[in-house]
Structures are given as C-alpha cells and as structure tokens.
Amino acid sequence: MLTRKKKIVMALIPILGLAILFFPVVLITLQDFYGALTNPPFANCEVMGKARIEAALQNGFTVNAGCCAEHMIGECSIARPNANPLLFAVENGNFEAVRLLLERGADVNQSSTSGYALAAAATRGRADLVELLFARDIHAPARDAALRLGAHAGQTEAVKLILERTKPAALAPSCTVLACSLVSDLEQIGSPALAKQRELFLHIIRSCVDPNVICAPERLLSHLARNDAHAPLIEGR
C-alpha cells in the first residue's frame, strides 16, 4: 500500500512534467509582456506619423527598440526583436515614417531577425528609400546584405544605386560580395529574375570587380565556366 507521502509525490510528477514542458512558453510570454510595458510599440510594430511618434516619444518610446511584425507568441524576445520600427516602416513603403524615424535617431545599421532596413528597401526596388537611408552612415554588413538580397530579387536599379553611393574604399569589397552571391543565383535557370541578374553581373564585372577574385573555393569565372549559358557573361569581361 502506498504511503501518503508517495501518493503526493506521484501526484506531483505529471504537474512537474507539464511545468517543465510549458516553461519556455511562459518565459517567452513574460519577455514579450515586459517589452510591451517598457516600450509600448515593442509588442506591436506600427507605422507612425509625426503626431504619433511625438506622443510615443513623450511616453518613453525608444526609436531603436524591437517590435513584433507578425504578432506571433515569442517572435519578439527582448534579446532578439523580430523587427524594429525603421525596418517595419520601410517594409510598408512609408517614406515619411522612415524620414521621421531617422530624424529621431533611428539606427540604419540596426539588425533584427527580419534583417536590415536597407535590405528591405533594396528588395522592394525602392530607390527613394535607398537614397534616404544612404544619407546616413551605412556600414558594410547592412550594405552587403542589401546588395545580396536586392540582386536575388532582381532589383538591379536599386543595387546599382547602392554601388553608386558606396564610398570608393568600400566599393571593391562590396562588389566582390555581390559578384560571389550572384554565382548561385545565375544557376537558377528559369528564374524570373535571371535576365536582370545577368545584366547586373555584366555591370559589376565591367565596372568594379576583379574577375580573378576568389569565390570560395574557386575563382569567380571558374564557377561560371561550368555552364555554357554563361558564355556571354564571360565574354563581357
């Protein structure tokens, strides 16, 4: 016969099991709740006009705090926000909101799990937003991410604009990043962006990248030479 003590222990086992199972969910929920209390837009990304931003700032809003773009539990933990107000404004194509956030100190180089604001502008082909963001001091990680993702999306004009606005000292490294990232894109025969990607590749190989550059583990043109369809690209040099 089980003693009273053993009965209590056996009754507690499934409760403890459930507690362990749901502990991560509870912790994440508390993190999001804390974020909502300390910075209200943290819990809900909002595209804010001037009056809304001014009111939020007066109530303690932090321009570079994280916010949840998809409204899913746990997507916006304190350590790694899903997005930030600047990125969300860019994704929504709101030029005025982007401008206002930059004026209030939004960091153009801030990354989140959803990426960089400049990359979001490039992938959408928003040259006006690219110009606006580049008026600030864009760093290499944000710039190179925008080049890679913009090229992948076939947004050649936005990518060319980024190259035009890149300082001479940083141009060669960024062109190398772009060229090497295009290697895999150019293999996607049938991709709707392929023609634009080929156009972009010809542009950079004629203007800003050494064709002998290494795209690990081989040289750039060695990668392309495996496919006869790339002959015009190799001749372009």
Q: Which domains does the chain have, with CATH numbers?
A: 22-115 (no CATH), 116-237 (1.25.40)
| pLDDT over threshold 70, residue 189 | yes
Is residue 228 pLDDT above 80, yes or no? no
Average pLDDT across the chain, whole number: 86
pTM metric for this prediction: 0.83
125 or 25, higher pLDDT: 125
Question: What is residue 236's predicted lDDT score, i.e. its pLDDT?
Answer: 58
Question: What is the token pair recorded at 151?
Answer: 């090229």
pLDDT of 10 higher than 90:
no
8 pLDDT band, cuts 50/70/90, is: low
- As a whole-number percent, the residues of the chain with pLDDT over 90 amount to 51
Give the chain's length.
237
Least confident of 16-20, 52-56, 63-67, 171-175: 16-20
Give the pair of three-digit tokens for residue 116.
């960089």
d(CA 15, CA 94): 49
| pLDDT at 237 > cutoff 60 | no
Q: What percent of the chain has pLDDT over 70?
A: 88
Is residue 176's pLDDT more than 70? yes
pLDDT at 29: 76
> What's the confidence (pLDDT) of residue 197?
94
83 versus 20: the higher-pLDDT residue is: 83
